[in-house]
Amino acid sequence: MENQQGGRTALVTGCSRGIGRAIALGLARDGFDMVVNDIERQRADLEALAEEIRAMGRDCQALIADVSDRAQVHAMVDTVIARSGKIDAIVNNAGILIASTVENLTDEQWDAVMDVNAKGTFLVTQAILPHMRARGYGRVVNIASIGGKVGSPEQAHYAASKAAVLAFTRVLAQEVGEFGITANCVCPGIIVTEMGRTNLADQANVDKWVAATALRRLGQPEDVVGPACFLASDASAFMTGQSLNVCGGIVLN
Ligand code: NAD
């Protein structure tokens, strides 16, 4: 796949660490010039990632923006278009998880999770769509979750936000297909990241999730890279409105 995507530009949101970081490096390996994004708190890690990508011989812009803030999202997209002229692929990866039972869930927790996971995906996609449509080409890859299909206790709001991403993607695919744009989801299972650790508080939880997989192991960020890069490439040209479970066989369909 080396340099298969030469001349193309991809944006990954929330990618200073975890799954997004692995995907950004994977896309750069495939030949994409990169735009990497995260929030101010993650600036140092984001800059370090950008340096790593530049050392691979790719162009890379590191842009701070909160994906749940319309003005910041548009400023980011305007900056990319002014410099690169285009974005061929976006990976909406930024996400948060705040564990709470439904009984204890506050309005603020519900809104925070919805704002980043669901609204952030909408805002970034909406800002970039006119540019993709004008060129008759685009790949939208949304990182949802098997939580959006099944869900676990203390994650009703997170599951709802990811179900929203899945539904958003199915409708988006129907709206933009005629413009050469595909929209698909990746649904990770339990991946060992800062967020993933929420599900892995103690050995009993680790054992439970390992036993739930057909492959008898937890996922690593690198496990999500192949499916995400596939959906960002022309190898998936006739796929749209779909979701790929990348969960070691927790969810089978
Ligand atoms: P992570 O917490 O390590 O990384 C999430 C990144 O998103 C962080 O760098 C964070 O700073 C960034 N972010 C948060 N809010 C943001 C905002 N408003 N704007 C821009 N960036 C923001 O988590 P991860 O496990 O790497 O998660 C990546 C994606 O994968 C998320 O969408 C998550 O819901 C999804 N996912 C993760 C798992 C898992 O088990 N780890 C499972 C299913 C889905």
Of 110, 158, 168, 209, the active-site residue reads 158
- Indicate which residue's Cα is closest to atom 10 of ligand 1: 14
HSE-CB of 110 using CA atoms within 13 angstroms: 9
Query: For residue 179, what pLDDT is reported?
Result: 98
Burial of 203 (0-12, 13-18, 19+ CB in 10 A): exposed
- Indicate which residue's Cα is closest to atom 31 of ligand 1: 95
Q: Count the residues in the chain.
A: 253
Looking up tokens 């192949």 gives 226
Backbone angles phi and psi of 130, in degrees to 5: -60, -35
Say yes or no to pLDDT of 190 above 60. Answer: yes
Q: What is the mean pLDDT of residues 192-214?
A: 95
User: Residue 119 carries which DSSP code?
Assistant: I
Query: Of 19, 40, 124, which is best to mutate to test ligand 1, by the most ligand atoms within 8 angstroms of its C-beta?
Result: 19
Tokens of 62: 């590191």
**Residue 168 pLDDT grade (very low, low, confident, very high; cuts 50, 70, 90):** very high
Task: Please tell me the distance from the alpha carbon of residue 95 to that of residue 117, in angstroms, as a whole number.
Answer: 5
Query: For residue 153, what pLDDT is reported?
Result: 96
Atom of ligand 1 nearest to the CA of 94: 7
Say yes or no to pLDDT of 219 above 80. Answer: yes
- For the chain, count helices (H), then strands (E): 8, 7
158 is a catalytic site residue = yes
Average pLDDT, the chain: 97
User: Residue 86 carries which DSSP code?
Assistant: -
CATH H superfamily, domain 9-246: NAD(P)-binding Rossmann-like Domain (3.40.50.720)
Say yes or no to pLDDT of 1 above 90. Answer: no
Say yes or no to pLDDT of 222 above 80. Answer: yes
CA angle 236, 68, 94 (to 5 degrees): 45
Contact 117, 160 (CB under 8 A): no
Say yes or no to pLDDT of 196 above 60. Answer: yes
**Residue 2 pLDDT grade (very low, low, confident, very high; cuts 50, 70, 90):** low
Name residues whose C-beta falls within 8 Å of residue 104's C-beta, 6 or more positions apart in sequence. none
Query: For residue 3, what pLDDT is reported?
Result: 65
9-12 and 89-92: which strand pairing? parallel
